[in-house]
Structure 1
């Protein structure tokens, strides 16, 4: 275990699992999703650096530095083939692990991976690149609260910024430097996750999930990834947005269970 990283387990089943949360979330988001599967899996969840009860992130400006750190931490919890689960940024980390070590994965469930580079050059990519540029500009100007308000307006659970508790708004604002490093990696893929032949080597069952009300780039990314995987299903959750594990835990749990059945 990496020092300073808080982790916990959910379930007592025979199959080891690892679940990786989204940006600005915490390991707790997985509890209602994974608890119904507790007789099948023993799932490890952990707080990413600078999130939940884990230690702060020691900022590194290198492109993709945070994703690399998160990947190393997640891989440290794997000592035999696991059912690997990720949401948003966590799904991109899970995909990076699967591409790098497909033999370590028993099944792979990805909820809205933010590997935006997978749709590079398409109209949806161009539109969201402009949004990304605006976010980066806000942070370059030191307007981190405005950046947090903008980010949560798109990727949050639908609660208006001004309705959030002040403590939560302050935390999201402090976490914006992490978002800056991660979001740039989402558009540039410095780890080359989408490289030729990488996804094709992931021969375990994969389930890609997106919310029916999510930003249009999310289903586009899921379809781009699915097109290169040999054993894959794609599911849309009616009425859900990007934060489906939080707002629609039963549906996400049922889809994970379906993928467990295939592996």
Structure 2
């Protein structure tokens, strides 16, 4: 297994935390949040395969499993897990598989579409996958970013467009996991076994399916809080880092 590139910031060394980024992002965007939480935790943020400075994804195992295995290998003792978007689904997968490894769990916009089937969201993800597999990766990347990226395709540099176009294959590979729960995150007793404090965070301007996913997950969890950031959309750790850090702090304090 290749090792991910790790980004680590000063913090409370006796309390480690892992922060997992979204698809097409990298760990660097956790920097301002890590700075605000340095008195409580020391945050490490791995770059997923094919992202940031990590090696490319090899194609096997499937992308979600590859990220989960790399992340789980970094856990030496119970710690605080923070995830955004696909990173939140990886954090959730670890918590379901090994609840004893998680001190607190903060899930920001988890995109586990299988938890709350939405015809529009499912169709959009299928369209992105179909474009990618039909040899139109740039069209697929543009379409994906229109909904989930919070960035203008036209404003990207040629090198950024090339990177995003390469990464769309990773998005397509996660369809079975996120839409059809290939990893069996929703198995009976799985979510219920998480006894760490959980916080579900979403942006008020996010696609409606995000609230439905949060509803479905929260109904099955033992100790869960909910928070919505006004005027924010899917990329709120980047656009609203102060508010996100304040919310993460609340969940960290519940687990102290």
Asked whether the two chains share a fold, i.e. TM above 0.5, the reply is yes
Q: CA deviation at 1:134?
A: 1.6
Cross-structure match for 2:4: 5
Assess if the C-alpha contact under 8 Å between 1:11 and 1:37 holds in 2.
no
Cross-structure match for 1:201: 193
Query: Structure 1 residue 151 and structure 2 residue 144: aligned?
Result: yes
Cross-structure match for 1:130: 123
Cross-structure match for 2:152: 160
Q: CA deviation at 1:43?
A: 1.3
Query: Structure 1 residue 74 and structure 2 residue 74: aligned?
Result: no
Assess if the C-alpha contact under 8 Å between 1:82 and 1:105 holds in 2.
yes
Q: CA deviation at 1:4?
A: 4.2
CA distance in 2, matches of 1:3, 1:129: 32
Unpaired runs of 5+ residues, structure 1, are none
CA distance in 2, matches of 1:32, 1:186: 28
CA deviations over 1:171-200 (Å, ceiling 9, x no partner)? 000111111101332101111001111000
CA deviations over 1:163-222 (Å, ceiling 9, x no partner)? 111211110001111111013321011110011110000011000000000111111111
Unpaired runs of 5+ residues, structure 2, are none
Out of 151, 162, 170, which is 2:162 matched to?
170
Query: Structure 1 residue 51 and structure 2 residue 48: aligned?
Result: no
CA distance in 2, matches of 1:56, 1:140: 19
How many residues are matched? 254
Assess if the C-alpha contact under 8 Å between 2:85 and 2:111 holds in 1.
yes
SS in structure 1 of the partner of residue 231 of structure 2 = coil
Assess if the C-alpha contact under 8 Å between 1:207 and 1:234 holds in 2.
yes
Out of 104, 114, 123, which is 1:117 matched to?
114
Cross-structure match for 1:99: 96
Cross-structure match for 1:179: 171
CA deviations over 1:79-131 (Å, ceiling 9, x no partner)? 111010000000000000000000011000000111100013xxxx1121111
Q: CA deviation at 1:136?
A: 1.9
Cross-structure match for 1:238: 230
Cross-structure match for 1:38: 38
Assess if the C-alpha contact under 8 Å between 1:11 and 1:40 holds in 2.
no
SS in structure 2 of the partner of residue 162 of structure 1 = coil
Assess if the C-alpha contact under 8 Å between 2:63 and 2:170 holds in 1.
yes
